[in-house]
Amino acid sequence: MKAPPVPQKDGPRVNRDIRAREVQLIDAEGQNRGVVDSLEALQSAEEAGLDLVEIVPTANPPVCKILDYGKFRFLEQKKSAEARKKQKIVEIKEIKLRPGIDEHDYDTKMKAVRRFFEEGDKVKVTLRFRGREMAHQDLGFRLLERVKNETVTIAKVEAEPSMEGRQMVMVLAPK
């Protein structure tokens, strides 16, 4: 019978969880105290009424800092929430065209494409062929070339026009 595995805590090790014999100590004022015995560092932290937190566990010896662990965790959570807020998820928007599209309809679709690029999204241009239109794939290819030429200043081609069954597909990404 094996003992159940010890659950791993996420975040840095604190106080008695620090296993190294010696640590590089940074005190509460931010001064580097050099390499100190870990028990001595823990004692200094307890005297200051703060915690000993392992900041860089991969260093040799590990870097530990004397600070308020609750405040430290709060600031870390705040930083990660801010980073998540600033993160932009790139979506792929789809524009559907037909080979015989009218000029005004084409302009309306292109206006939408430009708006998608301004928002930072990728655009998948799908050109659908019906019935006998399959015999005139060159018309569809020319239409996608026109889209590519009109968006050359604001976008780059991520996937060249290719046939997928009864439709021709091209993917554009903002520059």
Do 108 and 78 belong to one domain? no
pLDDT per position as a tens digit, 63-73 = 999 999 999 99
Domain range holding 47? Answer: 15-84
Any domain includes 148: yes
Any domain includes 107: yes
Q: What is the mean pLDDT of residues 46-51?
A: 90
For β-strands 167-174 and 155-164, DSSP reports them as antiparallel
pLDDT of residue 6: 59
CATH number at residue 79: 3.10.20.80
pLDDT band at 7 (very low <50, low <70, confident <90, very high): low
List Cα–Cα distances, 149 to 1, 105, 112, 118, 139, in angstroms. Answer: 69, 18, 16, 17, 15
Number of separate domains in the chain: 2
Any domain includes 157: yes
User: Last residue of some domain: 84, 109, 124?
Assistant: 84
Q: Which residues contact 47 (CB under 8 A, 6 or more apart)?
A: none
pLDDT value at 8 more than 70: no
pLDDT per position as a tens digit, 10-20 = 678 888 888 88
